[in-house]
A and B are shown apart, each in its own frame.
Chain A
Amino acid sequence: MIRYLAGRIATMLGTLAVISVLVFTIIQLPPGDYLSTTIAELRAEGETQAEEKVAFLRDLYGLDKPLPLQYLTWVSGFVQGDFGYSFEYGRPVAEVIGDRLFLTLILNFVTVLFIYLVSFPVGIYVAARRYGQVDYTLSFLGYLGLATPNFLLALILLYFANTLFGISVGGLMDPDYTGEAWTAGKMGSLAAHLVVPVVVIGISGTAAMIQRLRANLIDELQKPYIVTARAKGLGERRILFKYALRSALNPFISDIGDLLPQVVSGSVIVSAIMSLPTTGPMLLSSLRSQDMYLAGSFLMFLAVLTVVGMLVSDIALALIDPRIRIGRGTA
């Protein structure tokens, strides 16, 4: 188990290293940078004072040095918790993003939780009562859920909330709580505001998950060992939960590798539309204004979130499936 863990963590660090190079390259891609634009603007306005500050920043982050060196400065800062400087906000990135990372983490975590909590019982139910009415209805809804892009769903929900109830479903908590300490009231407000975005982001993932669990379970239920169990006189309930479900569970957990990137992508766009105080809207604006360190930090953070999530799912998988732990697995 320890060997497996060590290997898995090494792979993860390698992946993250490659991703960091990728992210750095991408944020360097746009021609020109924020500082030169700022200097040009300030000169046009006849200001000279700010140029010193710009020169200081340029020096601090080595913006006039060759790219590989800039990359090293950025990455080593990143590891130590210095995410660089947001040129647009004129403050260090760590200050600008503040609560956003935490709220993004919560949003994504709750969404994944929602997907599993809903698709697990529903998937088992439709597999056990195959071709029943619930099965057909859910399959149809599932197709619709997969075809409706989540940002459109967010728009529709916003529209109905606005016309039918006259409320706006934006934000993640009541405005009174922003900047306050975490109290029970703040948590409650957060939970209430999380419902809509979580459902919107999670719906397509849930549909896909139900379909997959249903297919896996139906495959298992047709295998000879199930027939044997039935012939021995085991109850249907026992066959389903003790026999078939255990084998069908494996892909269900390893699927998180496909699910997480999807959920994170979805949360970015849905947050942007519903203007949630997560990374989404700020990532967009920083990309538009070429605020490279801010954008880079968000991209890195989202990648870390996904990769670490996958690591956790792999560990969970290894815990329930000895074949993977010992290293002869074909998951």
Chain B
Amino acid sequence: MSEPLEHWVSTEPFDPGRTSARLSKPSTRYLEASQARLFWWRFKRHRLALVALVVLAIAYLTVIFAEFIAPYGVATRNTQHIFMPPQPIHLFHEGQFVGPFVYDMRGRLDLDTLQRHYTEDERRPRPLRFFCKGEPYRFWGLVEADLHLVCPPSLGTFFPLGTDRLGRDIASRLVHGARISLTVGLVGVAFSFALGLFFGGIAGYFGGATDYWIQRVTEILRSIPQLPLWLALSAALPVTLNPLLVYFGITIILALLDWPSLARAVRSKLFSLREEDFTAAAEMMGARPARIIARHLLPNFASHLIASASLSIPTMILAETALSFLGLGLRPPIVSWGVLLSEAQNIEAVALYPWLLMPMLPVMVTVLAFSFLGDGLRDAADPHG
């Protein structure tokens, strides 16, 4: 054993009137923190989830300002540059720093293979313009504007991710497609939440026969392979339908098969919570079931619900992409990542024009980001679980 520890005596004067412990600053901060703040502190520990949050924030900003960020309009065609590979961005011209610029691309049609070959014309650098006046657009279809984050050079083109079979800029179409692809998940989850909370709520609160039948329905829905059913349902949407209705139709179809798992989670939580004293108290005071479920029971596990929602958004994004890719989901003129990918459906196109596969990247990034975010939220909601 080493030296015995010195006996510690507080230098503060003794206050005989004090009955509770005096707390240090950090511990008061902890004890007085609201639930939301505690949640945020726990969430912050999950580094990857924080990164995911930032990525998603940027992605949804793109959704809001799509027209401003995209250099071209969604359907703008450039017949001179069909199936052009990505146009490289350079910084140095003949050893001199010019800033971001591109070279003109000269296209040549090979008459034997009917393939187009593009080469950079390295004589003249064409600097990119930023915060510039470019192609006019209607912001959100409402306000006339022509300000862009980045514009093609005044006499040249700027196709950083190449063009498709009609000479449309893939980068711009990706940005516009985000508007559909990223909101499908949100709207779908909203529908699925409404269904899941409703059915899970009444099953868990009332129990008995209601519970039995809702359980059977969810079991059946869970045992059907989702994709074929999604395909069949979206094939049933009339082709002539207005694009906006197709969009809502698809989100409802996605939600129809997604709610059972949520309903099961809500049910099992409610099963234990409805035995609590505060539920009995609310019942005695004459609160109706809807009020008890919504005001007294659901808030107890709201954070779990948010976490499970963020985990089911990627499934929906992937499902929409798959459906549109197969031509049974959204169809042109709507632009979503799945619709863009459907251009890359046959192997010849992929082999000759691999840049048509670009929309895969944002799909994977958002799906990963939502999974990490969901993990972080789940851990923050349930630190012991």
B305 at the interface (CB under 8 A from A): no
Q: Tell me whether A26 and B236 are in contact (CB under 8 A).
A: yes
* Chain B CB within 10 A, most for which of A23, A162, A287: A287
Q: Tell me whether B357 and A159 are in contact (CB under 8 A).
A: yes
Q: Tell me whether A156 and B357 are in contact (CB under 8 A).
A: yes
Once the chains are docked, how many angstroms separate the CA of A288 from the CA of B341? Answer: 19
Residues on B lying within 8 angstroms of A by beta carbon are 216, 219-220, 222-229, 231-233, 235-236, 238, 314, 318, 321-322, 325-328, 341, 344-345, 347, 350-351, 354, 357, 360, 363-364, 367-368, 371-372
Smallest CB–CB gap between B153 and chain A, Å? 32
Q: Tell me whether B225 and A261 are in contact (CB under 8 A).
A: yes
Once the chains are docked, how many angstroms separate the CA of A290 from the CA of B232? Answer: 10
Once the chains are docked, how many angstroms separate the CA of A18 from the CA of B236? Answer: 20
Q: Which residues of A contact B321 (CB under 8 A)?
A: 149
Closest chain A residue, CB of each to CB of B364: A147
Q: Which residues of A contact B328 (CB under 8 A)?
A: 284, 287-288
Partner of A159, one of B219, B225, B354, B363: B354
Once the chains are docked, how many angstroms separate the CA of A272 from the CA of B325? Answer: 11
Within 8 A of B (CB), among A283-313: 283-284, 287-288, 290, 295, 298-299, 302-303, 306-307, 310
Of A27-35, A43-51, A172-180, the one contacting chain B is A27-35
- Show 18 residue pairs from A and B whose CB-CB distance is below 8 angstroms, ordered by the A residue: A14-B216, A19-B220, A29-B236, A143-B372, A156-B360, A159-B357, A163-B351, A163-B354, A265-B228, A268-B225, A268-B231, A269-B322, A272-B326, A284-B231, A287-B232, A299-B229, A299-B232, A310-B223
Q: Which residues of B contact A266 (CB under 8 A)?
A: 227
Q: Which residues of A contact B372 (CB under 8 A)?
A: 143
Smallest CB–CB gap between B342 and chain A, Å? 11
Q: Which residues of B contact A261 (CB under 8 A)?
A: 222-226
Q: Which residues of A contact B364 (CB under 8 A)?
A: 147-148, 152
Q: Which residues of A contact B371 (CB under 8 A)?
A: 143, 146-147
A149-B223 in contact given A27-B232, A298-B228 (Cβ < 8 Å): no
Q: Tell me whether B368 and A147 are in contact (CB under 8 A).
A: yes
Q: Which residues of A contact B351 (CB under 8 A)?
A: 159, 162-163
Smallest CB–CB gap between B17 and chain A, Å? 47
Smallest CB–CB gap between A298 and chain B, Å? 7
A158 at the interface (CB under 8 A from B): yes
Q: Tell me whether A18 and B220 are in contact (CB under 8 A).
A: yes
Partner of A19, one of B224, B325, B367: B224
A62 at the interface (CB under 8 A from B): no
A306-B232 in contact given A149-B321, A156-B357 (Cβ < 8 Å): no
Closest chain B residue, CB of each to CB of A169: B347
Once the chains are docked, how many angstroms separate the CA of A265 from the CA of B224? Answer: 9
Given contacts A19-B223, A158-B347, A262-B225, 13 further A-B contacts (CB under 8 A): A18-B220, A30-B235, A143-B371, A147-B364, A148-B364, A155-B344, A159-B357, A261-B225, A265-B228, A268-B228, A269-B227, A272-B326, A287-B328
* Chain B CB within 10 A, most for which of A144, A149, A298, A299: A149
A30-B236 in contact given A15-B223, A149-B321, A151-B322 (Cβ < 8 Å): yes
Partner of B225, one of A30, A162, A264: A264
Q: Which residues of B contact A260 (CB under 8 A)?
A: 225
Tally chain A residues at the interface, Cβ within 8 Å: 51
A147-B225 in contact given A30-B236, A295-B232 (Cβ < 8 Å): no
Q: Which residues of B contact A288 (CB under 8 A)?
A: 235, 327-328
Once the chains are docked, how many angstroms separate the CA of A221 from the CA of B238? Answer: 55
Smallest CB–CB gap between A113 and chain B, Å? 18
- Closest 5 A/B residue pairs (Cβ): A265-B227, A29-B236, A264-B225, A287-B235, A147-B368
Q: Which residues of A contact B322 (CB under 8 A)?
A: 149, 151, 269
Q: Which residues of B contact A262 (CB under 8 A)?
A: 225
Q: Which residues of B contact A152 (CB under 8 A)?
A: 341, 360, 363-364
Q: Tell me whether A143 and B368 are in contact (CB under 8 A).
A: yes
Q: Tell me whether A303 and B225 are in contact (CB under 8 A).
A: yes
Once the chains are docked, how many angstroms separate the CA of A307 from the CA of B220? Answer: 9
**Cβ proximity bits A48-86 to B, threshold 8 Å, 1 near / 0 not:** 000000000000000000000000000000000000000
Partner of B231, one of A148, A156, A287: A287
Once the chains are docked, how many angstroms separate the CA of A319 from the CA of B319? Answer: 36
Smallest CB–CB gap between A281 and chain B, Å? 10
Q: Which residues of B contact A306 (CB under 8 A)?
A: 223-225
Once the chains are docked, how many angstroms separate the CA of A10 from the CA of B309? Answer: 34
Q: Tell me whether B220 and A26 are in contact (CB under 8 A).
A: no
Q: Which residues of A contact B341 (CB under 8 A)?
A: 152
Once the chains are docked, how many angstroms separate the CA of A146 from the CA of B326? Answer: 20
Q: Which residues of B contact A92 (CB under 8 A)?
A: none
Once the chains are docked, how many angstroms separate the CA of A26 from the CA of B229? Answer: 9
Q: Which residues of A contact B318 (CB under 8 A)?
A: 149
A257 at the interface (CB under 8 A from B): yes
Smallest CB–CB gap between A259 and chain B, Å? 11
Q: Which residues of A contact B233 (CB under 8 A)?
A: 26, 29
A247 at the interface (CB under 8 A from B): no
Smallest CB–CB gap between A149 and chain B, Å? 5
Q: Tell me whether A151 and B325 are in contact (CB under 8 A).
A: yes
Smallest CB–CB gap between A222 and chain B, Å? 13
Closest chain B residue, CB of each to CB of A279: B228
Q: Which residues of A contact B227 (CB under 8 A)?
A: 264-266, 268-269
Q: Which residues of B contact A268 (CB under 8 A)?
A: 225, 227-228, 231
A168 at the interface (CB under 8 A from B): yes
Q: Which residues of A contact B326 (CB under 8 A)?
A: 269, 272, 284
Closest chain B residue, CB of each to CB of A266: B227
Q: Which residues of B contact A257 (CB under 8 A)?
A: 222-223
Smallest CB–CB gap between B216 and chain A, Å? 8
Within 8 A of B (CB), among A126-168: 143-144, 146-149, 151-152, 155-156, 158-159, 162-163, 168
Q: Which residues of A contact B367 (CB under 8 A)?
A: 147, 149
Q: Which residues of B contact A23 (CB under 8 A)?
A: 232
Q: Which residues of A contact B368 (CB under 8 A)?
A: 143-144, 147
Q: Which residues of A contact B314 (CB under 8 A)?
A: 147
Once the chains are docked, how many angstroms separate the CA of A284 from the CA of B236? Answer: 12
Q: Which residues of B contact A283 (CB under 8 A)?
A: 228, 231
Smallest CB–CB gap between B48 and chain A, Å? 9
Smallest CB–CB gap between B188 and chain A, Å? 16
Q: Tell me whether A15 and B219 are in contact (CB under 8 A).
A: yes
Once the chains are docked, how many angstroms separate the CA of A272 from the CA of B347? Answer: 12
Smallest CB–CB gap between A22 and chain B, Å? 8
